[in-house]
A and B are shown apart, each in its own frame.
Chain A
């Protein structure tokens, strides 16, 4: 018998179905508005639909008794979970014994759907036979997953019983691996689509990581392995890890209330929590236990904390399901488990502590995260709990100090630092180490551009820099350029520390967050006992972190005057590199579209133009008592205790390039001043120190011809490879040369007495007591390794960028002795090297010389002679 929608007598309790539904819907809504829970509202709507569908089924049976057997209506998906939010679709399974029954009942199915749509209720009916329910199809995995929530509503209970007790468990046991794989795949795709972080400022509370969909996934992830090996069914929540169950059930209540609020407010199934609705939710204390208005920022903190719980549960269950998903994965994880060591065992990509008692050592507390940052692993739930307990048991004792800094520094320098920082934050350790970071915990920034909370933004800046080093075929050219800058940094940990702290001030009152961040950074830096140069660098980066963006927006970066002005603000090439990368990371981490290729290229062009200016205009900006160097002068005088000193220090500094003052700390300049005071007793002042993997040699003496060639020749003769050097001279004729070199044969390191012999040799070659040729004759004749890549020699003269000198820029394949060859040749050709800036970039030597001949720039003929001679000598 055909049953059309017009024949359905839409009657329930004396009202039409539509009126009945509308009245009940309004009642449920009122109860929610009066402070009822979201889950209660969802359950009430579920019960409402159960009654309506039951009534429809009864009517259809009365017209067609055939419907009594072989046909069942079941709730699946959210409806099956009794979580039918106000405007959610109703997921129905119209279950038939066989295909013949299905064909017979098609008109009735249409009638049911039409009646519901007319109410109006959006229904998503799936018509299946029992056999079809027992087959898993990966292209329709969502349907099979929704069956895990099935519940009978009306019809043949025996038929439903077979589905529930036989067909589904058998299918799950057979298809467990594919189901878990599908769950993983669907979840990952959805997470990526929604920003792959829980910290979006306008989250979709259903689909985003940590949202309601993840709650449902967590049920499925727990149930599939259970059903694969056990009968009967279990409550999925009872299968969750005990330590997370309570938090996640609470989180579900919060999210349920929020979703109901959104649905009632919007009148449709729209789950985006916009800023405007956050304001309203906060004023109504939606989802909160205490019904008192809170600020939108505080309300969002509640959201993030609840989302974090759900995200943690889902992540844990996904990772635990990994081996069951794939044998290939098992092979991969087998390799990763070989990372296990005396302190940690690694299983399924997770770190387990072999001895949790070792956590009593504060330094050891950082070790799991260092391991994580190095190998891209995650903490096991067990390790996380152990660390959280340790942190909770040590209030105020874990603050990052000089003792812990080397460990923390090491984490910052590893490729997966961002992952480790996030895990530290989730475990409460980051805030224990840097209490100031609590100011920005889940803090929202209310503007059009920012996508993430402030803490997440900070982690993303670190992550986006390391992403530059990840391989990828479709890298834009400008990304490679930024990667090169990153690889050249001498102290990258200072940049990463500054990135972590740069927005902490947003958690303080006041409009200018930079000042607040500086105040907080000062407290942190004081605890670390960094050198004044290191502290200055971090402070500079935080203080200036908006400067490059502002220059891009408001200044003409192709105007040399603007470049000069910007260059003066930055000071040194190393700071410029750091600031450029800081700006890159900061913009890139606002939202995925913020750093357009246009902006990235502009930023790089500003960087390149400034770097060029810094190298080509060194002798144009010299210290003569006033201006930018004055603060430096005062700082140096303060160290040497006395205003009377200031005039003597000023006399010492007079004529040195501004770059010298910018690139040396007040302590270093004070030491150089004191060296200069001793020149009368010892005309060659030498200071040799170890600086991590290199040595730093400072020579202060009266300037004279061939000075640079003599020093670099001596270094070459001793097997030292110069990686960086600067040579300056003051108005008073004082030459101050600094060299950073690598001891290729570990002579100084393995033989401490050789340090003194080295100093003596240098003094002897400088004074003429020993000839440089004799030193060179003793050097090892070991042939240098052939260069792996060909770097053509480039020589370029610029007569315009300096008013006093001709600038020679040379790029060549780096090798020991190169600088000696070049500097000695220039001396042979009667050139005076006024300034030398020596740098290396991997296998490439990049040298800049400011040259004069008898106090004048070079003429074209001499430039040509020099170029030919250089090419002959160095190739």
Chain B
């Protein structure tokens, strides 16, 4: 099993969600986050006051998937979240030791 973490633009969340649903991924955890990559934010001026736009709003999607689905999901995210501009986000993959369903204590891929 693999954990897929995708940090994407908020404006691409709906298309990404729809694409994941089409390939059969229903379970995911979504968080509203802020962050920046190598290109940090900037300072804006509004009516004489400076405000920082350094940590930009992003959406974090976390999924635990059977290994055979991972590349399909990665491709779906790349297809729908990419605009080609700085700030598109990143995808991280990491191995998962086990998964347990609390309701019935089922373990392994069956718990996903």
Contacts and interface: CB of A to CB of B under 8 A. Distances in A.
A846 B34 CA distance: 31
A598 B46 contact: no
Contacts of B53: 558, 605
A846 B57 contact: no
B14 interface: yes
A556 interface: yes
Interface residues of A, number: 24
A835 B34 CA distance: 38
Contacts of A612: 44-46
A809 B46 contact: no
Interface residues of B, number: 19
B34 A555 contact: no
Contact of A554 (B14, B46, B57, B83): B14
A82 to B, nearest CB: 39
Interface stretch (B5-13, B61-69, B103-111): B5-13
A796 B11 contact: no
B56 interface: yes
A809 B34 contact: no
Interface in A826-871: 841, 844, 846
Contact of A809 (B11, B13, B32, B45): B45
A598 B51 contact: no
Contacts of B46: 608, 611-612
A624 B55 CA distance: 40
Given A556-B83, A558-B56, A596-B32, A809 B51 contact: no
Contact of B48 (A555, A601, A794): A794
Given A553-B11, A554-B11, A596-B32, A609 B57 contact: no
B94 to A, nearest CB: 25
A608 B52 CA distance: 12
A283 B73 CA distance: 43
Given A553-B14, A554-B11, A598-B32, A809 B48 contact: yes
> Of B11, B32, B83, which is in contact with the most chain A CB atoms at under 10 Å from its CB?
B11
B47 interface: yes
A601 B46 CA distance: 14
Contacts of A513: none
A811 B48 contact: yes
Contacts of A167: none
A555 B44 contact: no
A558 B87 contact: yes
Contacts of A556: 9, 11, 83, 87
Interface string A673-707: 00000000000000000000000000000000000
Contacts of B45: 612, 796, 809
A603 B57 CA distance: 11
A543 interface: no
Contacts, number: 46
A540 B34 CA distance: 32
A645 interface: no
Nearest to A601: B57
Given A601-B57, A602-B10, A602-B57, A608 B44 contact: yes
B68 to A, nearest CB: 32
A598 B48 contact: no
A574 to B, nearest CB: 14
B107 to A, nearest CB: 30
Contacts of A555: 11
Contacts of B9: 556
A841 B47 contact: yes
Contacts of B34: 598
A557 B34 CA distance: 14
A434 to B, nearest CB: 36
A553 B10 CA distance: 6
A422 interface: no
A846 B32 contact: no
Q: Which of A554, A596, A611, A846 has the most CB of B within 10 A?
A: A554
A809 B47 CA distance: 8
B102 to A, nearest CB: 20
A35 to B, nearest CB: 37
Nearest to B83: A556
A341 to B, nearest CB: 41
- B13, B53, B56, B57 pick with most chain A CB within 10 angstroms: B57
A553 B59 CA distance: 11
Interface string A553-588: 111111000000000000000000000000000000
Given A598-B57, A796-B45, A841-B47, A553 B13 contact: yes
Contacts of A602: 10, 57
A523 interface: no
Interface string A743-781: 000000000000000000000000000000000000000
A550 to B, nearest CB: 10
A873 B11 CA distance: 47
Nearest to B48: A811
Interface string B24-54: 0000000011100000000011111001010
A516 B56 CA distance: 37
Contacts of A596: 32
A615 to B, nearest CB: 9
Interface string A606-635: 001101100000000000000000000000
A552 B10 contact: yes
B32 A599 contact: yes
B51 A608 contact: yes
Contacts of B48: 794, 809, 811, 844, 846
Contacts of A553: 10-11, 13-14
Interface string A30-60: 0000000000000000000000000000000
Contacts of B51: 608
Nearest to B45: A796
A841 B49 CA distance: 13
Nearest to A794: B48
A553 B57 CA distance: 11
Given A556-B83, A558-B87, A602-B57, A609 B44 contact: yes
Q: Which of A554, A558, A596, A844 has the most CB of B within 10 A?
A: A558
Contacts of A794: 48
Nearest to B58: A598
A476 to B, nearest CB: 14
Contacts of B13: 553
Nearest to B49: A811
Contacts of B33: 598
A836 to B, nearest CB: 16
Contacts of A599: 32
Contacts of A841: 47
B90 to A, nearest CB: 17
A809 B87 CA distance: 29
Interface string A275-293: 0000000000000000000
B84 to A, nearest CB: 12
B106 to A, nearest CB: 25
Contacts of B44: 608-609, 612
A649 B77 CA distance: 52
B56 to A, nearest CB: 7
Interface string B11-22: 101100000000
A602 B57 CA distance: 7
Contacts of B10: 552-553, 602
A596 B10 CA distance: 14
A553 B32 CA distance: 12
Contacts of A605: 53
22 contacts: A554-B11, A555-B11, A556-B9, A557-B11, A558-B56, A598-B32, A598-B33, A598-B34, A599-B32, A601-B57, A602-B10, A602-B57, A605-B53, A609-B44, A611-B47, A612-B44, A612-B46, A794-B48, A809-B45, A811-B48, A844-B48, A846-B47
The 4 tightest CB contacts between A and B, nearest first, are A811-B48, A598-B32, A608-B46, A794-B48
Given A552-B10, A598-B57, 14 more contacts: A553-B10, A555-B11, A557-B11, A598-B32, A599-B32, A602-B57, A605-B53, A608-B46, A608-B51, A609-B44, A611-B47, A809-B45, A811-B47, A846-B48
